[in-house]
Copies of this chain bind each other. A is one copy, B any other.
């Protein structure tokens, strides 16, 4: 059952290792997960695997097209199977991540293509907003400032470098 991974690797002169199998498994099982989460999962089976290997393996798997990463909005990118395509909706308020079919973006993709020649990759980033559970309420609108250039005198010392 691991023939495919092994072959894909061999085809490019790469080697099959237990670590790589574990990372692929973890990505598959976790759906979309950060390197940290993947590392934790892998270490449940093989505690000695270093997080450095996770990073290197994810990069390699992405390069050969087995996984892809998505930016959910905040810091860490999340990795998932290449063919596990969907659009992520992240709720600002509760942090929930909802997955929706990519065809939701078809109309937009077409429009972007027509109007800007931009080919949309709908799955690479997450859309932000508020989920149904977190009804909208807070509204804020204010913005105005000047445009001057002052010479700011710093308090104590200055001219520091490291």
The answer to whether A1 touches B136, judged by C-beta atoms less than 8 angstroms apart, is no
Q: What B residues does A121 contact at CB under 8 A? A: 92, 128-130
Is A45 part of the binding interface, using a Cβ–Cβ cutoff of 8 Å? yes
Please indicate the chain B residues that have their CB under 8 angstroms from the CB of A150 in the complex: 18, 21-22, 45-46
Contact between A129 and B118 (Cβ–Cβ < 8 Å)?
yes
- Number of A residues contacting the other chain (C-beta, 8 Å)? 72
B141, A65: Cβ atoms under 8 Å?
yes
A124 B116 Cβ-Cβ under 8 A? no
State whether A145 and B21 are in contact (beta carbons under 8 Å apart), knowing that A98-B116, A150-B46 are contacts in the complex: yes
Q: Which of A112-146 contact B (CB under 8 A)?
A: 112, 115-122, 124-132, 136, 140-146
State whether the Cβ of A38 lies closer than 8 Å to any Cβ in chain B: no
A4 at the interface (CB under 8 A from B): yes
